[in-house]
Amino acid sequence: MRDEFNQAWEHYRHIESVRTQYLALFFAVLTGAVGVGSQAAARSNFADTATVLAFSASLFVLTVFAAFVYVTVRKADVVMAHYETVINRVRDYFYKWVDPDAEPFKSLNIRVRNHPMLGGKGLWRLARIQTSVETVVLGTAVLTSCGQAVLLVMTLVAASPNWTAVAIETGLVATSCLALIGLVLLRMKGNQLISPDLP
């Protein structure tokens, strides 16, 4: 039982580290993209169809990257929830004759998901690292998709729209929207895999 506990704890910490590394990569890419994009946007009036198409393609790549990071982070939460369950079951086995509301067990019980700081109701849900991470990554995907839609509208209202560019941008926007729908479905399915009480 002790080996099971130690293995679950090591795997949990490893998945937590992987999640942190993906977030670091995500924010590094996002910061670079915003910096380069803002400089390029300041020098362009978006009158050229090729420029608009290049920006739309860049936003699409950023959307796909955000979706990839979201899937990875969501998967990490599912795996971490499994190991939390293993850890808690082993602890329950060893502490089955102890009152869970008595000290020192009560102070050691922070890993339980119904603890207010880990998954409580109301605003405490936002305190979860996983919830805030998913919100930021998914929000980035939504914003980049909206940016693509704005660029598509700009191309459509141009004096003489390039219909090839319109078709390409429409495909990119449609693909981004389908990816967002997939991410929302993954979020809902992930909750069923973990627990209906999770945010």
Phi first, then psi, for residue 156 (nearest 5°) are -70, -35
**Whether residue 199 has a cis bond before it, omega within 30° of 0:** no
Write down the pTM of the prediction.
0.77
Q: What is the mean pLDDT of residues 117-136?
A: 69
pLDDT tier, 181 (very low <50, low <70, confident <90, very high otherwise): confident
Domain ranges for the chain, please list them.
Answer: 2-194
Q: How far apart are CA 149 and CA 155, in angstroms?
A: 10
Rounded Cα gap, residues 150 and 169, in angstroms: 10
The amino acid present at 39, given as its one-letter code, is Q
Question: What would the mean pLDDT of 10-28 be, rounded to a whole number?
Answer: 89
12-16, 81-85, 195-199: segment of lowest average pLDDT: 195-199
Q: How far apart are CA 60 and CA 177, in angstroms?
A: 10
